[in-house]
Chains A and B, each alone.
Chain A
């Protein structure tokens, strides 16, 4: 409950600390200037993305042999991949990200993932979120543990951009996290009568005990978040038809980070990647909003993008061979995406194991040569300047075997 101390200092301004914080946004600025704060955004793609059709090993004959109907064509061919480095190509529906690649802000770590060879979505997602693969009893997520080792920030230091009111496991734990529930237009959900009753609740909880302080902390965080999200820029998208929820959510997040909230750690998610059937069509439909959303995030962050790293990950990869339904089944290794102003981009990291049968995991899947925690440890160490002790707190029981210079 370390964030309570911040609030107590804010409360010195007046008897009603909520109002005080709301009215004196300079207080937030002074403790957490928007510029220069290191930031991390994690985007989780639930359902297991097919990394082999996203960061495509187009030089490998096995790739085309294994996927006669769903392989993405070589560069230059009709609907072919966008060449990355002469070896790998990007799915053409992600063309919005090519400028990021070209300017060196985007990298991938291929053949990465969780060493625990579960093929259950449910369990594998848990492991990715707790970062303790194989250990089912872990109850907190690594983003929450990250908050615990960061220098104290605002009550909105950690923000979940969700659609409901449940915090994902990755954010579960002791440190408080603000849960921003946004609708398809990226606007916060709150009705008018909710505002009216909130004033009365503020009075009920204007007390100096643990309960009152906790309430005030939550209100202060929500208040400042609402203020940012309701700023004029959002009005344009309000009520608009919204096929691109993800893009709108990404824009809202950028707005939050640029504003007074002091948000440093954020989480977003996008489902619908379980492409057992008709993968070609589904990927096209899914990747376009994802690419647009990430590009919008980069653009909207403006100068802050320099201090921001975005990690995109999914619970596991998919089988090398396509199945009988124009899709792929649950596999193993996948590609992680690393994006941001400070990224040493234009590079596909990781040791590529190849697709030949001898190198396959369980004779069917892309092998894993880089533990996802090695990737995350590198990002956190370089992004937040965390030492080994702090990193060990975020990833307990893990010792880094492959150190990457991603930033």
Chain B
């Protein structure tokens, strides 16, 4: 790759798409420096206008317990009160959506945004499942984002204890069947979370665990509860450990003995899972799939796995290896990743340079994600959305994408993008054929044609 291609490649893969001025900034800073700055974002979002907006989303600064107490209907409430509570909950969802899209569109620290999306998807929860809706925003803000470039073990622990995950995968119900509390919602063992924890979150489906391991892990995680009130969860986190529902017998997990105890059994289990070579491989494969290719080269995956194990699951270190690898810079992988609907829509809007969009504009973008089959926070299944071309490239979706290209070109009524500016922003991505067709078309159509061009479908 020459320098110009390298710039395009970095903007394609480490960001959600180039904004006006990005290429020049990257040229000045140099590719390596830019990557380093992306790997080490400051705590405060930039630009300041974004930070200000994010602070305005009140429900995102509440604790899970506050959210439950203030936004869910009381136990014996009337139908009217329930309706009112449902209406209030709309605000939570709206703020979560606004915060995510505003960050994706405007944040200078794009790798952080990319990884927030990556990990949310990896540890997916679905807001349509009962109470999950209350916590989806703070789940991303408090359990995912702080650890997006940190230690995998911390990320794993934060998701395991978060009420959004606990509710979504039913672990709050998971109870020792011999416990005197084993009735009502706590009827007995529920292995939903324990299974996905191994299959999806850590070791991967072929990671070498057995059904006996799933059962052990399920028992280890009994009593990991959901505290909806201050009484149950004094720190407001919503996590409680209820010894009375916990199975305290000795267990064996992945060949290791875990003596009967309490909460510490689960912590031990998470340690084991986070350090397991299958986990290192599974996470490395997914990162390589996201950043390099639908069929990532084996050499890269094993190099990343080694780094994962050597650094105790340090995500920043693993990504750093990835960005330094020869494979990442191989011409064969230049602009070959088919954008998911999320990536396509965000990249188009970024290219237009839209800043500080109003709520309705964000709603339109979110609506478009839904129409393309990738509604934000609404992936029902715990495996999250696919990053593979085959999942998203189909005949009807292609036609729809082009409708949204027209939409994106017209989002900012005051400041419509022009073709020359788009070409400059997006670099030399466009083929001669595309440019010829675009230049032959009426000027008013050109921005939509560029945004809907074949080249724009790939990153």
Contact = CB atoms under 8 A, between A and B. Distances in A.
Contact of A201 (B371, B396, B442, B452): B452
Nearest to A177: B396
21 contacts: A137-B381, A165-B371, A165-B403, A166-B371, A176-B396, A177-B396, A196-B442, A200-B438, A200-B441, A204-B438, A204-B449, A204-B452, A205-B398, A210-B393, A211-B457, A214-B395, A214-B398, A218-B395, A218-B396, A219-B399, A221-B396
A197 B371 CA distance: 21
Nearest to B445: A197
Pick from B395, B399, B434 the residue with the most CB of A within 10 Å: B395
B395 A203 contact: no
Contacts of B406: 194, 197
In this complex, the interface size class of chain B, counting residues with CB under 8 Å from chain A, is 20 to 34
B448 A197 contact: yes
B445 A215 contact: no
Nearest to A197: B445
A221 B395 contact: yes
Given A211-B457, A212-B454, A217 B395 contact: yes
Given A165-B371, A200-B440, 4 more contacts: A176-B394, A194-B406, A215-B399, A218-B396
A212 B437 CA distance: 15
A200 B393 contact: no
B393 A214 contact: yes
Pick from A136, A165, A172, A210 the residue with the most CB of B within 10 Å: A165
Nearest to B453: A204
Nearest to B395: A218
Contacts of A67: none
B146 interface: no
Pick from A136, A215, A217 the residue with the most CB of B within 10 Å: A215
A136 B393 contact: no
B259 interface: no
A221 B393 CA distance: 16
B445 A200 contact: yes
A210 B445 CA distance: 25
Contacts of A172: 373
B402 A122 contact: no
Interface of A: 3, 122, 136-137, 139, 155, 164-167, 172, 176-179, 194, 196-197, 200-201, 203-205, 207, 210-212, 214-215, 217-219, 221-222
A194 B445 CA distance: 10
Contact of B449 (A177, A201, A214): A201
Pick from B394, B434, B438 the residue with the most CB of A within 10 Å: B394
A204 B434 CA distance: 6
A200 B371 CA distance: 23
Interface string B376-416: 00001100000000000111101110110010000000000
The 9 A-B residue pairs with the shortest CB-CB distance, nearest first, are A218-B395, A217-B395, A203-B437, A165-B371, A176-B395, A218-B399, A215-B398, A200-B441, A179-B396
Nearest to A211: B454
Contacts of B454: 204-205, 207, 211-212
A222 B395 CA distance: 10
Contacts of B261: none
Contact of B437 (A165, A200, A215): A200
B128 interface: yes
Contacts, number: 79
B224 to A, nearest CB: 22
A194 B434 CA distance: 19
Contacts of B441: 197, 200
Nearest to A220: B395
Nearest to B406: A197
Interface in B52-68: none
A203 B439 CA distance: 12
Pick from A122, A205, A207, A219 the residue with the most CB of B within 10 Å: A205
Nearest to B396: A179
A155 B371 contact: no
Contacts of B370: 166
Contacts of A218: 394-396, 398-399
Nearest to A198: B402
Given A166-B371, A201-B452, A204-B437, A214 B400 contact: no
Contacts of B448: 197
A211 B336 CA distance: 12
Given A200-B437, A214-B393, A222 B399 contact: yes
A122 B128 CA distance: 10
Contacts of A167: 373, 396
B395 A215 contact: yes
Interface in B410-437: 433-434, 437
Contacts of B433: 204, 207
B334 to A, nearest CB: 15
Pick from A177, A200, A222 the residue with the most CB of B within 10 Å: A200
Nearest to A219: B399
A135 to B, nearest CB: 11
A139 B381 contact: yes
A200 B454 CA distance: 12
A201 B394 contact: no
A183 to B, nearest CB: 15
A139 B386 CA distance: 12
Contacts of B128: 122
Nearest to A205: B454
Contacts of B449: 197, 200-201, 204
B381 A136 contact: yes
Nearest to A160: B396
B84 to A, nearest CB: 19
Contacts of A137: 381
A167 B394 CA distance: 12
A196 B442 CA distance: 10
Nearest to B398: A215
Contact of A136 (B380, B394, B453): B380
A219 B452 CA distance: 15
Contact of B394 (A196, A204, A214, A222): A214
B365 to A, nearest CB: 15
Contacts of A204: 433-434, 437-438, 449, 452-454
A201 B398 CA distance: 11
Contacts of B440: 200
Nearest to B338: A211
Nearest to B393: A214
Contact of A178 (B396, B437, B438, B457): B396
B400 A165 contact: yes
Contacts of B438: 200, 204
A178 B370 CA distance: 17
Contacts of A136: 380-381
Contacts of A176: 394-396
Contacts of A210: 393
B104 to A, nearest CB: 22
A218 B393 CA distance: 11
B400 A155 contact: no
A178 B449 CA distance: 23
B395 A166 contact: no
Contacts of A214: 393-395, 398
A201 B381 contact: no
Contact of B402 (A177, A178, A201): A201
A164 B403 CA distance: 13
Contacts of B400: 165
A199 B432 CA distance: 18
A178 B234 CA distance: 54
A70 B441 CA distance: 63
Contact of A211 (B373, B393, B399, B402): B393
Contacts of A178: 395-396
Pick from A166, A194, A212, A221 the residue with the most CB of B within 10 Å: A166
B191 to A, nearest CB: 14
Contacts of B457: 211
